[in-house]
Structure 1
Amino acid sequence: MVIEQDVKLSDGRTLRTYDSGEGVDGPGPTVVWHHGSPQTGAPLGPLLSAAAERGIRLVSYGRPSYGGSNPRPGRNVAAAADDVARIADTLGVRSFAVMGASGGGPHALACAALLPDRVTGAVCLAGLAPYTEDFDWYEGMASPGGLRAAADGREARELYAATDEFDPANFTAADYAALEGAWSSLGADAVKAGQAGPDGLIDDDVAFATAWGFDLAEVAAPVLLVQGSLDRVVPSAHAGWLLAGLPRAELWVRPDDGHISVLDTCPAAMDWLMALSTPLT
């Protein structure tokens, strides 16, 4: 049974959190899931199933302005580390692994960089690299307009959101098959998040397209990068940049996957986390 609760933070905000239960009896670690953009933060069925099969305690939450979590004006990517530390403290979790997909990937890396004594390993699926002009950050994106606007600040991103519409070209045939099948819950959750308003997505995009607040070199924990070669949302060059910048990273390339279908590797990625050295105590 998933336990839902609002965690109170020192600045008065609350974050909507979900916990598969501290009574999980198994060999797996606690894994904190960082959702994509936009999502509510509610745990998705395939993740809960894969975690339960491995005895993993799965924790997830809505980032500020998503899924019932209060806004955090001006947040950067690094801000996720403080929020997750508070959630972990509230749940009585000392050490944990992190996983993030798409927009969740950078936030998972923030936790690994800024909570080095707590994060035992990280998985980043189809995640963005920090904004840089050292390569064409937008090349290969089917619809880079939102991120381009975000680079000019929140006001510009708000103006873009007023007329923005989803471009079907973002997803491959494999992505659409995944959304109609195993990952249908992701599509439904994204619609729910979008109906609640654009603020979470706007803040995410501004955070991605500006300084993250930490360096990749600060990530001491092992990191698994998973990238679909056909991804039209976060192109493969981002995974290559992350691989080059992270001290202890490996990359799984999925030649036939796009942005959504690559999530089918989540069970194997959880196995990778479980195979790491004994978690910190």
Structure 2
Amino acid sequence: MSEYVADEAYHVVRLRDGRQLSYAQYGDPDGFVTLNAHGGLACRLDVAAAAPTAELCGVRLISPDRPGVGRSDPQPGRTILDWARDVTELLDRLDVDRFAVMGWSLGGQYAAAVGYALAPRVTRTAIIAGALPLTEPGAFHGLPTIDRTYIRMSCHAPWGARLCFRAMGLAAAWAPRLYGWLAARDLGPADGAVLRATGFTTFAHMSQEALRQPQGVVEEYRAMVRPWGFAPEDIRVPVDIWAGTDDQLIDPSWPGELARRIPDATLHLQAGGHFLAHLYYRDILESLRSS
């Protein structure tokens, strides 16, 4: 079963367990498939800006909403590795055999999980501004204060976290330019410049869609601190680690540590912040397509 809703630009598949999984597609519909794992407090729309570049590179970007995010049904208690099963069902339904996978920020963990679990089908993986497993000693404290706060609230006071995420979604809907401006101010100069270039209202629309299910966002933060189910050393596909030298949201040691621990990894340290993918979409997609 597949449904397309033009005004919101999303498709829907029904998984075997009855859950609805929503996704968007961008770029060349006949191109090489690259699966996108969206970031935290984001959704399938976070890669929409890459659509022209994907078309130019001959890439078909498939960007699903994770459970409880955007238009996808929730899956309480899920883990990072569980996502690989949903991806398998989606790509089987779309008759996709071989593909690459990319993930930004929190999505880097999910891209790693797909690369690990579906290695026979995955040609290459890109982890962009990603983190180490947060269950490892000291890793949790490498997160910015706001993420640590949301994780603690989601685990210990979920009702308060739901209220926060609901308020954020309403602010994005009612005052999109102000919402985008405040995000640009708080993220630092490099990422503020990216948000101004892409448009505050565009960012706010993505955030509004990402936050439409506050309890699902709570589950996103809970899943962040559950065990991956594998270690970076277990990934057996080629991996590109992309990181910005001006990223103020992750521990600066993480990209190099991931590149050291993943057996076939290449580190790409570039000028830019947490949103560096917007500056290097062509490089990222061409690298993924080349394998």
- Measured in 2, the distance between the counterparts of 1:230 and 1:22 equals 32
Separation (CA, whole Å) in 1 of partners of 2:82 and 2:51: 26
The match for 2:207 among 160, 169, 190 is 190
Tell me which amino acid in the other structure corresponds to 2:241.
L
Distance 2:110 2:96 in 1: 18
What is the SS of the residue equivalent to 1:258?
coil
**8 Å CA contact retained: 1:217, 1:246:** yes
Q: Which amino acid aligns with 1:263?
A: H
Aligned to 1:66: 69
Quickly say closer, same or farther: Cα 1:226–1:220, change in 2 above 3 A.
Answer: same
Give the drift of 1:118. Answer: 0.7
> After the TM superposition, which residues 17-28 of structure 1 pair with which residues of structure 2 at under 5 Å, given as runs?
17-20=23-26, 23-24=29-30
What is the deviation of 1:6?
1.1
Q: Deviations over 1:63-105 (max 9, x none)?
A: 0011110001101110110011111001010010001111111
Question: Is it true that 1:40 corresponds to 2:43 in the alignment?
Answer: yes
Cα distance in 2 between the residues matched to 1:170 and 1:38: 15
* Superposed CA RMSD: 2.7
1:264 positional shift: 1.4
Secondary structure class of the residue paired with 2:259? helix
How far does residue 145 in structure 1 lie from its aligned partner after superposition?
A: 2.8
Choose from 118, 121, 124 the match for 1:121: 124
Matching residue of 1:250? 266
Higher helix proportion: 2
Provide Cα deviations, 1:106-151, integer angstroms capped at 9, x if missing partner: 111110000111111011111121014444542362424335516x
Give me the TM-score of the superposition, normalised by structure 1: 0.85
From 79, 82, 105, the counterpart of 1:79: 82
Structure 1: gaps (5+ residues):
277-281
Q: Is the 8 A contact 1:157 1:206 kept in 2?
A: no
| Conservation of the 8 A alpha-carbon contact between 1:142 and 1:232 | no
1:30 aligns with 2:33: yes
Correspondence list, 1:190-269, <5 A: 190-194=207-211, 196-254=212-270, 256-269=271-284
What is the aligned length? 269
User: Structure 2 length normalisation: TM-score?
Assistant: 0.82
Greater mean alpha carbon deviation, residues 39-48 or residues 66-75: 39-48
Cα deviations across residues 217-272 of structure 1 (Å, max 9, x unaligned)? 22111111111132222222222332222111111112x42212453112101111
Partner of 2:253: helix, strand, or coil? helix
Q: Output the CA distance in 1 between the equivalents of 2:163 and 2:198.
A: 32
C-alpha distance in structure 2 between counterparts of 1:4 and 1:248, whole Å: 34
Partner Cα distance (1:210, 1:23) in 2: 35
Structure 2: runs of 5+ lacking an equivalent: 169-181
Partner secondary structure for residue 138 of structure 1: helix
Change over 3 Å in CA distance of 1:133–1:274 after alignment to 2: closer
* Structure 1 residues 263 and 201: CA distance shift in structure 2, 3 A: farther
Contact 2:103 2:128 in 1 (8 A): yes
**Shift in Å at residue 19 of structure 1?**
2.8
1:96 and 2:99 are equivalent in the alignment: yes
